[in-house]
Amino acid sequence: MDSKVSESPSNWVMTRPRSRYHLYALLLIPCLLLGSLAGHRRYYYAISNPDIDFSASSCAQVDALYPQSSKNTGLWEEFGQMLGTDEFKELAIGKLSGLIQIPSESYDNMPPPGQDSRWETMGLVHDYLVAEFPLINKTFSLAKVNTYGLIYEWTGTNSSLKPYILAAHQDVVPVNPETVSTWTHPPYSGFFDGESIWGRGASDDKASLTAIMLTLETLIKKDWTPERTIVLAFGFDEEASGIYGAKYLGKALEETYGRDAFAFIVDEGGGFKDVYGTIFATPGVAEKGHADIKLEVTSPGGHSSVPPVHTTIGYLASLITEFEKNPYPVELARDTVPYDNLVCMAAHSRDIPHSLKRAIFRSGHSNAALHRVEKDFVLQDKFYSSLVGTTQAVDIVSGGVKSNALPESAFAIINHRINTLSSVNETAARDTQTITSLARSLNLTLKAFGEDVIPESFYTTSHCSSQSSSTSSSKGHIELSLAFNHELEPAPRTPTSGKDSKPWDFLSGTIKATYYSHRAQGIKAETTATKGDDVNFDVEDEKKIIVSPGMSTGNTDTKYYWNLTRHIFRYNHKNAAYGSEIATGVHTVNENIPLDHYLEIIRFFTTLIMNADEAEVF
């Protein structure tokens, strides 16, 4: 070989240096392995040590956010002190008690307002709000939407700031007349027993509505005015899916203010409670979808003295059993609210079992660990499993009119709450698949959501091996359909991290300020009021509150507000942290709310309104 060629720089790499590069590689590989092992060792040490703080990277927290301006600080302190006075307590009790005494019940499948006298109780609510909150009715503009929906506006002095919405609903779940005698205090008494206010709506949702109104009425009385416009949106049929209330309110708000016109929306939703020794607040930042599926069976009638093997109701019962034998799978997935909530729990809970904490943190990169969390925790917890998966519940069954007549038709309504990674179409497809095989074995035709899945021709051809003759026919018909035409896709998720999460950080800080200032053993309100800047307070672990992304298993009026803002928070600062003190009876007998919990909701809205007045970042 030509020595000049072999020694040229361009060829040297190709000919001579292999041995030298092998040497470098041999030296480098052990270093890389040691570094990797050290990294893994640090990782496994961290997840095995319960004292390691993961909060910097997992479920990062913000400081408590207190009103800071000279305009708000003194008044906020005064308001907080006023909450503890007997005079204000009596005022607050009276406002909520009076609203509870109006039986503003909403029912499924009611005709529009004006066509059913049951709506008229909403008019009584309006009269009450006018009488009890005169300053609001003098100061705010008011628009009524579809007769009973309410939109109030208090126009701010700074038009460059986006407005925000505080939402609530005027209606309540009907009280079953058969249960009235089992209530400790009558359901529409608004009775105060010295500790709690009792009655339908006390917790869902009249305490929030009254807290909003009383807070604003008090601020007006104190000559406070907002820089940022405040909008109130009160629906009147949330308990019946909001089809006449919030649905129309959402359209009216969009027409008036435009798409994405609001900085944020706060409606009913999550609260705070103890989770493994630590208090967690869980504002709802997403919602599951919703679909009511009607399962209807028809077959020939006749006299019951000559019955077939299966009556129509018998067929329906078999199909219902098939659904309940095949529940939707519960599969925990990363990048979902339930998963992020678990990560937050692992990062901050003081008493979380070590094995669960380790599995949750490993699940970020290990599918095996993810399945372990799913199996050992999610599937063992009724609430979490309902949150993660699509649920199904047969809630309505109807069929037959006479004991000696075979029913020609029978139906059931299956209520689904659809997991956030699925859709209405996927739910409909799975329901169809669940019963198709059984329908064939029962010799029933099947039409699902407008499609002939098993047509009559299936039983009149040789395709059905169970038939001995090509002239045989089906014994009945099944139809699957959407029941009430108010199906709902899963909601868009509110940002809780990254550049779009400033409203989330604002709400988180407000929650913490409310929680700490309401407790004598917490941070003193005046501590921050005099500082005027961000302070990292050294709060003892057992006194801290952690704010985590949350989600409820149901839906709220916000399902009609998606176009108004990306920042929807379903949270009303309900206190569920103290076991026996929890407000009970939501949607059932003995609904009540402890006075202290109600007062803390008022404090929350006071802090929120003043903080929003100062925030210029959104």
The span from the CA of 244 to the CA of 214, in Å, is 26
Q: Is residue 350 part of a domain?
A: no
pLDDT of 574 over the 60 cut:
yes
Q: What is the CATH number of the domain that holds 428?
A: 3.30.70.360
The reply, when asked if residue 567 is annotated as ligand binding, is no
The band of 486, judged by pLDDT with boundaries at 50, 70 and 90, is confident
Q: Is residue 518 part of a domain?
A: no
Of 430, 464, 482, the one marking the end of a domain is 482
Q: Is residue 184 part of a domain?
A: yes
Asked whether residue 194 falls in the same domain as residue 325, the answer is no
Instruction: For 298, list phi and psi in degrees, rounded to 5.
Output: -125, 145
The band of 586, judged by pLDDT with boundaries at 50, 70 and 90, is confident
**H/E stretch holding 451:** strand 451-454
Distances (CA, A) of 506 to 62, 68, 154, 327: 9, 13, 21, 39
Handedness of CA 87, 575, 206, 76 (dihedral sign): positive
Q: Is residue 164 part of a domain?
A: yes
Asked whether residue 237 falls in the same domain as residue 318, the answer is no
pLDDT of 54 over the 80 cut:
no
The span from the CA of 272 to the CA of 578, in Å, is 10
Q: What is the CATH number of the domain that holds 251?
A: 3.40.630.10
Asked whether residue 317 falls in the same domain as residue 410, the answer is yes
Of 447, 482, 517, the one marking the end of a domain is 482
Asked whether residue 324 falls in the same domain as residue 249, the answer is no
Within a 13 Å sphere around the CA of 564, how many CA atoms are in the beta-carbon half? 31
Question: Annotated active-site positions, please?
Answer: 171, 238
Check residue 460 and give its pLDDT.
83
Q: Is residue 294 part of a domain?
A: yes
Average pLDDT over residues 414-437: 98
Check residue 373 and give its pLDDT.
98
pLDDT of 492 over the 50 cut:
yes
Check residue 213 and give its pLDDT.
98
Mean pLDDT, the chain, whole residue set: 88
Asked whether residue 242 falls in the same domain as residue 318, the answer is no
Check residue 174 and give its pLDDT.
96
The reply, when asked if residue 22 is annotated as ligand binding, is no
Asked whether residue 99 falls in the same domain as residue 205, the answer is yes
SS (H, E, C) 209-263: HHHHHHHHHHHHHCCCCCCCCEEEEEECCHHHCCCCCHHHHHHHHHHHHCCCCCC
Asked whether residue 249 falls in the same domain as residue 166, the answer is yes
Question: What confidence tens digit (pLDDT) does each residue in 93-133 have?
Answer: 999 999 999 999 999 889 999 999 999 999 999 999 999 99
Question: What confidence tens digit (pLDDT) does each residue in 354-412 have?
Answer: 999 999 999 999 999 999 999 999 999 999 999 999 999 999 999 999 999 999 999 99
The band of 576, judged by pLDDT with boundaries at 50, 70 and 90, is confident
Asked whether residue 151 falls in the same domain as residue 236, the answer is yes
Structural contact between residues 239 and 169, judged by C-beta atoms closer than 8 angstroms = yes
Average pLDDT over residues 281-286: 98
Average pLDDT over residues 286-313: 96
Asked whether residue 221 falls in the same domain as residue 114, the answer is yes
Count Cβ neighbours within 10 Å for each residue of 540-550 and write b for 16 or more, e otherwise.
eeeebbbbbbb
Q: Helix, strand or coil for residue 115?
A: coil
Residue bearing the bigger pLDDT, 588 or 130: 130
Return the DSSP state at 394. E
Asked whether residue 135 falls in the same domain as residue 32, the answer is no
Question: What confidence tens digit (pLDDT) does each residue in 210-243 have?
Answer: 999 999 999 999 999 999 999 999 999 999 999 9
Structural domain for 28, as ranges: 3-48
Asked whether residue 79 falls in the same domain as residue 191, the answer is yes
Structural contact between residues 231 and 152, judged by C-beta atoms closer than 8 angstroms = yes
The reply, when asked if residue 274 is annotated as ligand binding, is no
The band of 542, judged by pLDDT with boundaries at 50, 70 and 90, is low
The reply, when asked if residue 126 is annotated as ligand binding, is no
The reply, when asked if residue 185 is annotated as ligand binding, is no
Helices (H), 265-336: 312-325
Q: Is residue 223 part of a domain?
A: yes
Q: Is residue 546 part of a domain?
A: no
Q: Is residue 418 part of a domain?
A: yes
The band of 536, judged by pLDDT with boundaries at 50, 70 and 90, is very low
Of 482, 497, 513, the one marking the end of a domain is 482
Question: 27-41, 83-97, 531-545 — which one is most confidently predicted on average?
Answer: 83-97
Of 37, 60, 63, which is closest to residue 511 (Cα–Cα)?
63
| Total domains in the fold of the chain | 3
The span from the CA of 15 to the CA of 216, in Å, is 83
Asked whether residue 226 falls in the same domain as residue 85, the answer is yes
Return the DSSP state at 105. B
Structural contact between residues 507 and 569, judged by C-beta atoms closer than 8 angstroms = yes
